[in-house]
Chain A
């Protein structure tokens, strides 16, 4: 808006340059705001990596910086998935790590040595500044309104839907990917408008960068063909579309295949088939268009019918045939569960177990997007009123983005850019209508009055005598503009509040308030990981549930059995079985996998609800999927179908390793009869479980993390139950008296 203030004193050239200057200043302020609003957690706590996934990215980045690019590319990681290891170079998207590695070396070359951790922490805020600018560019392609781009930039800069995934310290793939997503779309629109090969190639290059950094690139691969297809169906085929799409596809597909993790997927999986199909379809359309210009209408019909039916039918039949024959892989589970929303829950519990993969509730939309969510449909509607090629893109994107965001919470992220663009178009339309469209030009005014007087003489109606329809009154202008301004200000307040309260808490440290308002930090995670790092031998294998795999690898620097990259379901089920079986069974499993320590998270003392007992049923379910005879979910419920941990709990529950490890010695903290679990809100029996095969090695201050050491085999060959019973001084009852039926010794 400020860009429009133009003093009549200055000449046109000066006004132009003032406008440019203002634009630059505003954009840099927006970028600054976008960065600043993401720093809450760094300022409140410390500069540290937050969630689970970023710890792996951080570890990989450290490896890249320490060992160079080629070693990183061929990195075989033997400290995860213990017996198996992980071919890391071929199973990650390297874009994020390479970007921060490049920044690191660039700063070092400028003799500004910055710790790699700080670069990783602050990469997401830096990219969000760039995203704001990309949103500005994209919106400027959509509309001629001078304020829409700036509005979109500020929306994109501070919308909580995007901030949630890009606060400082969340060093995840999305940090960089959303910038690339928006910028790729900008380049695509630009290429489509100009019909230029160069812009198409740039679009393909950024698409390749996007592929290298996030698995969500499939969204682009499906959206651009869809846009092209809708354009063709609307009869808007042009050679510009041909040039831009085919250039993008030819170069972009080759670029995406350079990433080892993607490899041959673009020609082999169903997700990429729309792009290929539209590519072929465009060739056909292009050729038909050429022929149409060459021959007469009658002949063209014969030609068209033959060619079209033959090729199109053949292509569809071949695609269906190849898919059913298995040459082209069908959709993978994660992607498929977007269409069949109950698929994951039934078939792949590990996908359904992640909380981000749940459907979105209504409040989440208002929480994450505030006023944008009701400006968004208006913006899409505006696109219909002046439907150009790029507006079709907005429509297509918003329909699909809304659907996906409704199915899965985490895909709110891909919806946010288009919401910002459409909402900015709507908001700027309102503002333009009430700020810029002014009273009829001065020249026209007297004419109108003359006409008025003429008509008045003729005795016409009063309403007919007003040829101009518009908002002339300053009062109405002021009202609308003021209310819009108030809304915009409330938007800023809301965003800041949401960011500060909801999205800026590191999950590694838990913060709580003391009665006097001072902050109390519960730092059990790092306490325990630090203990592991300093008090165990270098290659001690840690078994824990997969959620903590990356953090153990990153902070404790010890090999783990499973981690957050859930590529081997059976291995995870093995850990689930070890956790949910009784001690004899799980001791076997732990010996077979050379486990030295077992780590469980227990929130009963503190009321920390995300602990392993609450995740326990997922372990059981995942294990049951592989060993339905040995682990049964039903056994963990009481006869009335309740999931209980107190005295009423089933025997299977009480004997499971997870239960025993969680509640071991817990009763000693309380006076008798008052043992209570604060998460489950249940009263526990006074005698705790007995552990025979593992021994307590470490328990953190608030009992959140408990680490157990797996005992070695007994020296004189007893099983652990009897050895432990002997240790406790329990006499073997009657064993001395009654000579049991001995069997012969077999040598």
Chain B
């Protein structure tokens, strides 16, 4: 299971970083204004990402992102519990965990499709994307409920 975790969790946690971890960076930024002459330092990078995110993202997309953060939290908690308490009903763990992962992926897909429809997805309107999202989530949940027994 661990590579699954590694491969996947790294991204959501990184994805969550602009939202969650960035807040202390914002506080520290005015205290120590760095010259940053050489290679761009990690703080500045994060802050830039954060600023870009706050400025450029629409309200609707932020809503999806909040949902994404929630899913990541739930998935991480499940995984933590699995690590601490063992994975005895393995199907239950798998279905719960893959429900969060699958829902995360679907939500990201929805986010992508509602953001830049014009260039990449000429045939998918935001409404169509949402309908797709609903159908796929339904299928996902049917499978998960069946698998959890």
Residues of A bordering B, CB below 8 Å: 194-198, 200-201, 204-205, 238-240, 242-243, 246-247, 249-251, 253-255, 257-258, 264, 267, 273, 276-277, 279-281, 283-284, 286-287, 291, 294-296, 298-303, 306-307, 310-311, 314-315, 318-319, 322, 327-328
CA distance A319 to B105 in the complex (A): 22
Residues of A within 8 A of B136 (CB): 197-198, 200-201, 247, 251
B70 at the interface (CB under 8 A from A): no
Residues of B within 8 A of A198 (CB): 131-132, 135-136
B3 in contact with A277 (CB, 8 Å):
yes
Chain B binding site: helix, strand, loop or mixed by DSSP? helix
CA distance A150 to B44 in the complex (A): 58
B3 in contact with A322 (CB, 8 Å):
yes
Residues of B within 8 A of A243 (CB): 109, 112-113
A318 in contact with B109 (CB, 8 Å):
no
B90 in contact with A295 (CB, 8 Å):
no
Residues of B within 8 A of A302 (CB): 39-42, 45
CB under 8 Å from chain A, chain B span 54-102: 56, 90-91, 94-95, 98, 101-102
Residues of A within 8 A of B12 (CB): 283
B32 at the interface (CB under 8 A from A): no
A276 in contact with B48 (CB, 8 Å):
no
B132 contacts which of A196, A242, A319 (Cβ < 8 Å)? Answer: A196
Q: Which size bracket describes the interface of B in this complex?
A: 35 or more
A240 in contact with B121 (CB, 8 Å):
yes
B143 in contact with A254 (CB, 8 Å):
yes
Q: Can you list 17 contacts pairing A with B, beta carbon distance less than 8 Å?
A: A194-B124, A197-B129, A197-B132, A197-B135, A239-B113, A254-B95, A254-B102, A257-B91, A267-B4, A267-B94, A276-B7, A283-B11, A314-B6, A318-B2, A327-B1, A327-B2, A328-B3
B15 at the interface (CB under 8 A from A): yes
Residues of B within 8 A of A250 (CB): 98, 101-102, 105-106, 140
Residues of B within 8 A of A258 (CB): 143, 146-147
Chain A nearest Cβ from B66, distance in angstroms:
16
CA distance A13 to B105 in the complex (A): 43
Known interface pairs A302-B42, A307-B14; A253-B98 also in contact (CB < 8 Å): yes
Residues of B within 8 A of A284 (CB): 7, 10-11
Residues of B within 8 A of A279 (CB): 7-8
A194 in contact with B121 (CB, 8 Å):
yes
A299 contacts which of B40, B53, B94, B144 (Cβ < 8 Å)? Answer: B40
Q: List the 6 closest A-B pairs by CB distance, nearest first.
A: A280-B7, A250-B102, A283-B11, A299-B40, A197-B132, A294-B52
B139 at the interface (CB under 8 A from A): yes
Chain B nearest Cβ from A340, distance in angstroms:
24
Residues of B within 8 A of A296 (CB): 40, 48
CA distance A238 to B113 in the complex (A): 12
A196 in contact with B45 (CB, 8 Å):
no
CA distance A746 to B106 in the complex (A): 79
CA distance A279 to B105 in the complex (A): 10
B22 at the interface (CB under 8 A from A): no
CA distance A13 to B11 in the complex (A): 52
CA distance A194 to B124 in the complex (A): 8
B108 at the interface (CB under 8 A from A): yes
CA distance A249 to B48 in the complex (A): 33
A251 in contact with B39 (CB, 8 Å):
no
Known interface pairs A194-B123, A254-B98; A239-B112 also in contact (CB < 8 Å): yes
Nearest residue, chain B, Cβ from A197 = B132
Given contacts A197-B132, A250-B102, A251-B136, 8 further A-B contacts (CB under 8 A): A195-B121, A197-B136, A201-B135, A242-B109, A254-B147, A277-B7, A311-B11, A328-B3
Residues of A within 8 A of B56 (CB): 294
B139 in contact with A251 (CB, 8 Å):
yes
CA distance A300 to B132 in the complex (A): 33
